[in-house]
Structure 1
C-alpha cells in the first residue's frame, strides 16, 4: 500500500509526512501509514509526470482529484492516455470533488470528457454530506419503520423544508465564492441530494444502481421552478455571536460591483404520484444566525372539530426534524394533553441524538465515503445523469440571476425578508434556525 501526493511545489517524501504529522501523530496506526507516503512533483498537464506516477503503481489504484475544478478533465485525460485507468491488473477508480461543473453545459462537457477515458463504474463524484450518519439514516428511518413510511406521501405531508445554514462568512474565499454563489455552491449538489433521499421511491434493493436510479428519478421530476418563488440575498454588515461582521461587498477579493448571492431560497415541486401538490422549500446561506443543516417534514393539520368545545383553538402540526449538523439526530414533534382539569394541549418532542446512543467520535463524512471507494460501493456517489439533472433544474435561475442584484440581509439574521414572505404566501413559516 502506498499514498502518493502529487503537486507542482518543491517538496519531498519527508516534508509531506511532516506536514501531516500534527494532524494524526498520536494515532497508533500513523507510523505504519507514514512510512508509505511518497511525494511526486509534477505538472498536471505534463505526460511525463504520469509516466513517473505509473512506475510507482501496481494492482489496485485510486486517484483522488483534490484539485482545482479546471484540472478535472485534464487529469482524467492524462490518466487515460497514460494507460493508468486500464483495469487489467486490478481496479482503477477516480474520485472527483465538487463542484462538478458550473452550469448545465459545463457539467455535460465534463461528463463527456471524463467518460471518454473511464467508465461510469470507475467514477466516484464525492459529496461529503452523504457520508454523514444522519443522511445515510434517512433511508433506514423511512423504509425500516412502517409508521413513518405509511404517512410519507401527499395525503399526510403538508410540506418539506431543507435548510443548510452557515454562520461563517466567505472569509478568505472571496475570489472563489464571487464566481460561484450560494445557488451553484449548494443547491444542485448538497440540497438536491437531501431532496432525493426524502422524495425517492423505495429501491428494489440496497444495491448502488437501484438506489441511484430512484434518486435520479426524483431530480428528473422537479417541475420547472417559478422565478417568483426563488429568492436570492446577500449579507450586509451585522453581528454573529456578538462579533461584528463586514458586508459581503467589503470582503477581500470580492468585486465591489458583484451580483453574487450569498443566500438562496426556493419553492419547488416534485411531480410524482407520491408528492404531487406537496411543496419543497430549500434554503441555504452564509453569515446567518447559526450553523444548522436540517430537514423538516411537516404533516397536515388535523381537523379541529373534535376540540371545538374545549379551550383548544389551534393544534400545532406534527413535524419530523432530521438534524444533520451540528448535532446529528432525529426529533418527532407531536401534541399531548396538558395536565389539568380541562382539555388543553401542548407540543412535545421525542428526541434521538446519535451521541447519546452510539460512540461515533468525530467524523466528517469522508471516512465512510473513502471506505466505500476502496470497497467499490457507489451507493453514496452520483452518476452523470443526476449531476446533469440538478444543473438542469437550476439553470433558468442561473441565467436570470446573471442580472439584477440580490436583496440584502443583516449578517447574523435568518436571511432576507423575501424568504419569509415566500413561506407566508401559503400561510407557512420556516422552522427556526438552531
Structure 2
C-alpha cells in the first residue's frame, strides 16, 4: 500500500510551555524528530522551550538530545537530532508572573529578528489545565498572538477542556477573549491515529457501505476503549477526573461523531466539524430519573491480570481509601435524527480490564427470514463490521458462508484489512499528523468550542447524578471485563457486549 507523501509546512517558531515536562519528553519531541526525518519541516523552523527550570540554551539542547535517545530510541539518527538541537532555544519563566511573558516576548522577537524568516508562531501549552486561560490572556496582552497579513499565530491546548459543562463554557469564553476561535487548536491524540481518520474516508469513499449506514440496516453500535493499566502514578489527576471526564466527552465523543455524522459537503475543516457538532447536538439528553437505566459506573477491586496480583483502585498510591471515583463507565446513547432513531449506541471505557483495546463494532440487523434450518447450524450470527483502532489498526467484516460438505451448514467467515505500519513504524507517537496540521492551518482533526460543549452536555446528567457515593464500590475485579451491571444495561434491549477476549 503506497504511503501518502506529506507536504512541507511553512516555517515557524514553535514555543512549548512546559518544555521540561513529561508530555514534551514522551510525545512532542519524538514527534518533531519524526517530522524532521520525514523532511516536512523547513530549515527556518525554530524551537523555543519555556519552563520554570533555571536552564540555558545549552542545557535545553542537551535535554532534547537525551530525551530523543530515551523516548525515540537509542538508534536515533545523529543528523536529525543535531538538526533539532541546532534550532533549539530556552527561556526560564514563571507561568503565574506577567513579567515572565514580557521576557518570553523579547526572546521570541530576538530569535525572529536573527532568523530573518517567517514570523509565524505556534504556542503549545503543555501545562496543567489551571494555567491555560491565564497564559492565553498573557500571550494576548503581550501581543504575541496578534496576527498580521504576513504571519499567523496559533495556540494548541491539551485536554481536559474544563471539568463539566459550566467550566467548559467559561474556558471557551476566556480563550475567545484572547484570540479568535480559528486560532485555537484543541488537540486530542486519538484523532492522530490513521484508523480514526479512516472512519470518514471509509464511510464517504465507499459507495457500498454508506447506503447501509442507517436505522433500517444497523441494529446497534458499540464503542469500546479498554485499558489494562491503572492510574499509573496519576492519582492526583484521576481522583478529580474519573473515567467519565477523562474519556467520554472527548475521545469517545470524537469516535461517536465520526461513525454517526451525516455526510459533509466536503472534507474541509468547516464542513467536517459542522457535521460532528450537529451529531452531538442530536443526542437525546438523559433525564435525571433515567440515569440509572442509561449508564453504569464501576470501580475496580483487587484481582489478577496476566497472572499477577493487582491491587484495587482504593489501594493505589495517592488514592483516598474511600474514593468514589469511577474507573469504568458504560452508557447507552440515543441519537434523535432520521438516520439513527431507535438505534442504540453503547459506549464503554475502563481501567484494569482483561485486555487493552479500542474498537468500534457496527452490528447489522438479521435477515428478515431464516432460510437455513436451525437444527443444521449454530445460531446465526449477524453481520458485523469491526474498526480496530488499537493496539492494532484494522477493519474486519464478518459474514455467513457455506461450510464445505454435502450438507448446507452456515459458518462464520471474515474479510480483514490490516493498516500498514506507516512512515514512522513503531516510533510513531500519534502527534505527527496533528502537529503537521497545526503548522499547515488545517483544523479538521481538532475540536472546536461547540464540540467541546456538546460533549460535556452529553455527560452532564451523569456527573450530576454521580455526585452521591456509590455504595457498591468496588464492583468489578481487576482483570475482568467490568461490572455485571454493564451487561444488564444491554440485556434490557436484547444485546450483549462484544467480548473483550474475542477482540
Corresponding residue for residue 20 of structure 1: 64
Residue 69 of structure 1 pairs with residue 129 of structure 2: yes
TM-score where L is the length of structure 1: 0.97
Residue 136 of structure 1 pairs with residue 187 of structure 2: no
Corresponding residue for residue 25 of structure 2: none
TM-score where L is the length of structure 2: 0.84
Q: 1:305 to 1:324 in 2, by over 3 A?
A: closer
Q: What SS does the corresponding residue of 2:309 show, helix, strand or coil? A: strand
Q: What SS does the corresponding residue of 1:179 show, helix, strand or coil? A: helix
Corresponding residue for residue 79 of structure 1: 139
Between 243-252 and 22-31, the greater mean CA deviation after superposition: 22-31
**Distance (Å, rounded) in 1 between the aligned partners of 2:374 and 2:349:** 43
Corresponding residue for residue 121 of structure 1: 182
> 2:232 aligned to 159, 171, 175, which one?
171
Shift of 1:310: 6.6
Q: Deviations over 1:294-318 (max 9, x none)?
A: 0000000113432248723631110
How do 1:164-313 residues align onto structure 2 when only pairs under 5 Å count? 164-225=225-286, 226-227=290-291, 228-308=293-373, 311-312=376-377
In the alignment, structure 2 segments of 5+ residues that lack a partner are: 1-44, 70-75, 113-118
Corresponding residue for residue 168 of structure 2: 107
Q: Deviations over 1:40-75 (max 9, x none)?
A: 111112222212221233410000011000000011
Between 76-85 and 39-48, the greater mean CA deviation after superposition: 39-48
How do 1:90-105 residues align onto structure 2 when only pairs under 5 Å count? 90-105=151-166
Between 254-263 and 210-219, the greater mean CA deviation after superposition: 254-263
In the alignment, structure 1 segments of 5+ residues that lack a partner are: none
Corresponding residue for residue 103 of structure 2: 52
Q: What SS does the corresponding residue of 2:299 show, helix, strand or coil? A: strand
Q: What SS does the corresponding residue of 1:77 show, helix, strand or coil? A: helix
Corresponding residue for residue 361 of structure 1: 425
**Distance (Å, rounded) in 2 between the aligned partners of 1:325 and 1:292:** 5
Q: Is the 8 A contact 2:93 2:104 kept in 1?
A: no
Shift of 1:99: 0.4
Between 87-96 and 188-197, the greater mean CA deviation after superposition: 87-96
Shift of 1:14: 2.2
Q: Is the 8 A contact 1:4 1:37 kept in 2?
A: yes
Q: What SS does the corresponding residue of 2:221 show, helix, strand or coil? A: strand
How do 1:394-433 residues align onto structure 2 when only pairs under 5 Å count? 394-405=459-470, 406=473, 408-433=475-500
> 2:412 aligned to 347, 364, 374, which one?
347
Q: Is the 8 A contact 1:232 1:407 kept in 2?
A: no
Q: Deviations over 1:83-109 (max 9, x none)?
A: 111002510000000000000011011
**Distance (Å, rounded) in 2 between the aligned partners of 1:205 and 1:244:** 51
Q: Is the 8 A contact 1:264 1:285 kept in 2?
A: yes
Q: Is the 8 A contact 2:314 2:320 kept in 1?
A: yes
Q: Deviations over 1:356-376 (max 9, x none)?
A: 7x5551322211000000000
Between 13-22 and 259-268, the greater mean CA deviation after superposition: 13-22
Q: Deviations over 1:210-258 (max 9, x none)?
A: 0000000011011013312200000000111112110100111111121
Q: What SS does the corresponding residue of 1:52 show, helix, strand or coil? A: helix
Corresponding residue for residue 41 of structure 2: none
Provide the alpha-carbon RMSD of the alignment: 1.4
Q: Is the 8 A contact 2:191 2:197 kept in 1?
A: yes
**Distance (Å, rounded) in 1 between the aligned partners of 2:424 and 2:127:** 30
> 2:89 aligned to 31, 38, 45, which one?
38
Between 382-391 and 11-20, the greater mean CA deviation after superposition: 11-20
Shift of 1:16: 2.1
Corresponding residue for residue 208 of structure 2: 147
Q: Deviations over 1:371-423 (max 9, x none)?
A: 00000000000110110011111111101101021451000111001111111
Corresponding residue for residue 450 of structure 2: 385
Aligned residues: 433
